[in-house]
Structure 1
Amino acid sequence: MFLSVVSFAALVCTVAARPSLNYLANLENPFTAENDSEEVRSAAIKRLLEVFGMEGPPAIYGHKQPPQYMLDLYNTVADVDGVTKDPYLLEGNTVRSFFDRMHSDQVEFRFDLSTVARTEKILTAELHLFKLRPHATQTFNRHHFSQVSVYQLLDTTKTNTTQEKKLLSSRLIPVHSTGWEVFTITQAVRSWMVDEDSNLGLQVVVRTLGGNQMDMRLIRFASGRNHHLSKQPMLVLFTDDGRRSTSLESTDPNHTTTTGSLLHAPLSGPPSRSARSLDSSEEERTSMSCQRLPLYVDFEEIGWSGWIVSPRGYNAYHCKGSCPFPLGQNMRPTNHATVQSIINALKLIKGIETPCCVPDKLFSINLLYFDDDENVVLKQYNDMVAGSCGCH
């Protein structure tokens, strides 16, 4: 995979030096140039969507507030530019959040998982419930803890049994506590992905330590009907969509400082006026040796700011410059590039070009965005930022 990336970069390096036939034709016909420009933009946006694994931009009709959990998770795994802090912080490469679609006052919940691709591997599924303060306080002395159990509702016509529900998770919760409670329900979600018609929802049952039904004034969970969006029941899925990296990124789990040091390294500025007065060959030797330069991708300019929550854009960086003989270690050359540089310098074989300046380390970025159903998704995309450049 690494070889394919380098080969593609070398091809781009060679082709970019020649003006395209379309460009020359457009100089003669400005109307054709305008049409071609729109076609190129359309094709470019389509290709960019493919990079992000989408057929088209999500249709967002109103501005919704993302769940605080998803915002906190994004800030945990990504820096201010969306670049992954540590590739081992996130389980899989996709996290999806879903709000309850039943909006019931009862402790039953149902989530629409139609936006999850069948090819995605379900790693972990969590039910997030916000526990409210108890109404009744006079019974604290009798009940300090309650047994909270989450069941998967079953279709008895398909299971050939009379069992109407299946226990997924159960634990003790302090009666007087308040805040988020998380239950693992991976087993149920995996079965729903196999047969979506089996998704009848979940039921939460609260009992005393003696096994009796608990007074609902003591144990209350926020519902989708009567409570603020920030406290509504939520299903969170950690999945892996099967995409793989080109392995330029470090795979060392203890390698956590390289990203920061490289991404914030000083960048060479544009050539000075005195440098421009030099002949081209001398300019290449002095200021245009292989280096990493900024390449900011602005999602607002692309027209994606309506559905992408974070980041607003990111610095992809790009590699530019020559790889003249002799290649120093500061140019991070491969052995192959060194040999190619020598063959080019000695003119031993006709048509052998100098090595190309290409990324030799790539990092992933994270996007937090709304999908077509206005669910919030956190997805990690590999090989999106040039961490450093070298002669290959």
Structure 2
Amino acid sequence: MFIIIMFFIIACMMNLSISRPSLDNEDNRFPVENESEEVRLAAIKRLLEVFGMEDPPASVVRNHKQPPQYMLDLYNTVADVDGVTKDPTLLEGNTVRSFFDKLHSEQIAFVFNLSTVARSEKVLTAELHLFKLRSQASLTFSRHHFCQVSIYQVLDTAKMNISQGRRLVSSRLIPIQSTGWEVFTITQAVRSWISGEHSNLGLLVTVRTLAGIQTDLRTVRFASGQNHHHSKQPMLVLFTDDGRRTTSLEGPLKGSDDTIAGPRLPLPNLTLPAAKHRVARSLDYEDDRERTPCQRLPLYVDFEEIGWSGWIVSPRGYNAYHCKGSCPFPLGQNMRATNHATVQSIINALKLTKGIETPCCVPDKLFSINLLYFDDDENVVLKQYDDMVAGSCGCH
């Protein structure tokens, strides 16, 4: 009998050793690694889609090119240090691009490559930024203190100096002795380029006295991309909306404390049946006591760890936050519960219907973030992305 029992035990041990996979088997390890890499690539691809891109910009230009000061100032105006939008109404549209002159002409003529702008984008405003240099002529050179600066859209490069080859898009008076940035609205020209109505042949700038006489080049001068510091280069700034905005305004989600139209249901003062219910739900209640109540917790997204630090100027990362915790009965005011969640909690507690779970802890207020980055053509882009940061959490 003892021999039979020992034989049975040995047979069982041999069977277990055969059926248990070896942890040291490399054939078992490679599929896990491959699957992990596939998941990583798929996750990065999905994250790019969230940011409205098919692929990350190919050129890493951050270390050898400075963003325009205007774009840095604009970013700091609309976003805090983590990129979170200060006020959704500050930015017109959700995308701002800056383009540098590609012509580098000796004339006051400029060409900007707008190929990165999709035709589907709505052009809201386009501005030509020119840096006016100090006049080299003395005040006695001219009797006038102002000059007329006109911006023309070039329609025919062979006739750009006559009316048939150009179209006026902006014109105004500026002081002859002033220095610094001058901004001209050229939305009409850019819309015609994006729509394909006219070919993008660039812009021509003319400077005349109040009497209509062409001024001496020493009297009114603008910085060019060829002969002056990059911080003074001619620049086109384009405000667009690419249609990614959500239908609801930024802030509380529909159904949260701040958006419920009708009166909230009063918190029920119910006493659950004593013994019978507690026996049926004893395990659930033990779990609930161990879990923390619904709350907002940190969730930092580090662009350097993702591998995007080469083309993103700001921010280096941001705190998206996430919601975690239980929504046990009864739901207090601090749970920011909707009326629907309150009813669901009551039904779950009373076991009136099978399969009804407790409400979920989810974001009930979302904020947008802003990214400042270089695109493939080394233009600097400011984009605003909705619903990226959990502002608060509630039971829904």
Q: TM-score range by the shorter chain?
A: 0.7 to 0.9
**1:133 alignment partner in structure 2:** 134
**1:90 alignment partner in structure 2:** 91
- Does residue 66 (structure 1) correspond to residue 70 (structure 2)? The answer is no
Shift of 1:155: 3.3
**1:48 alignment partner in structure 2:** 47
**2:344 alignment partner in structure 1:** 340
**1:100 alignment partner in structure 2:** 101
Deviations 1:67-115 (A, max 9, x none): 0000000000001110000000000000011000001121000110000
Indicate if the aligned counterparts of 2:252 and 2:365 stay in contact, CA closer than 8 A: no
Deviations 1:168-201 (A, max 9, x none): 1111111110000000000000000121761111
Alignment partners' CA distance in 2, 1:206 and 1:162: 15
Identity of aligned residues (%): 80
Q: What secondary structure is seen at the aligned counterpart in 2 of 1:139?
A: helix
Matches within 5 A, 1:107-256: 107-139=108-140, 142-155=143-156, 163-195=164-196, 198-245=199-246, 247=248, 249-250=250-251
Alignment partners' CA distance in 2, 1:247 and 1:91: 17
Q: 1:156 to 1:107 in 2, by over 3 A?
A: closer
Shift of 1:128: 0.3
Indicate if the aligned counterparts of 2:291 and 2:326 stay in contact, CA closer than 8 A: no
Q: 1:141 to 1:214 in 2, by over 3 A?
A: closer
Letter in 1 for 2:95: T
> Looking at CA atoms only, which structure, 1 or 2, has the larger radius of gyration?
2
**1:313 alignment partner in structure 2:** 317
Letter in 2 for 1:309: V
Matches within 5 A, 1:258-297: 281=285, 284-285=288-289, 288-297=292-301
**1:377 alignment partner in structure 2:** 381
Letter in 1 for 2:36: S
Alignment partners' CA distance in 2, 1:79 and 1:140: 48
**2:28 alignment partner in structure 1:** 29
Deviations 1:259-299 (A, max 9, x none): xxxxxxxxxxxxxxxxxxxx995574476100000000000
Alignment partners' CA distance in 2, 1:229 and 1:205: 22
Alignment partners' CA distance in 2, 1:382 and 1:320: 21
Shift of 1:247: 2.7
Moved more, 52-61 or 281-290: 281-290
Alignment partners' CA distance in 1, 2:68 and 2:237: 11
**1:274 alignment partner in structure 2:** none
Q: What secondary structure is seen at the aligned counterpart in 1 of 2:340?
A: helix
Deviations 1:16-63 (A, max 9, x none): xxxxxxxxxxxx933222111111100000000000000000012433
**Alignment length, in residue pairs?**
339
User: 5+ residue gaps in structure 1?
Assistant: 1-27, 253-278
Alignment partners' CA distance in 2, 1:207 and 1:249: 47
Indicate if the aligned counterparts of 1:284 and 1:321 stay in contact, CA closer than 8 A: no
Deviations 1:332-368 (A, max 9, x none): 0111111111111111111111110000000000000
Indicate if the aligned counterparts of 1:156 and 1:163 stay in contact, CA closer than 8 A: no
Letter in 2 for 1:48: L
User: 5+ residue gaps in structure 2?
Assistant: 1-26, 254-282
Alignment partners' CA distance in 1, 2:395 and 2:156: 62
Q: What secondary structure is seen at the aligned counterpart in 2 of 1:29?
A: helix
**1:325 alignment partner in structure 2:** 329
Shift of 1:154: 1.0
Alignment partners' CA distance in 2, 1:248 and 1:69: 27
**1:355 alignment partner in structure 2:** 359
Shift of 1:135: 1.1
Moved more, 243-252 or 110-119: 243-252
**2:303 alignment partner in structure 1:** 299
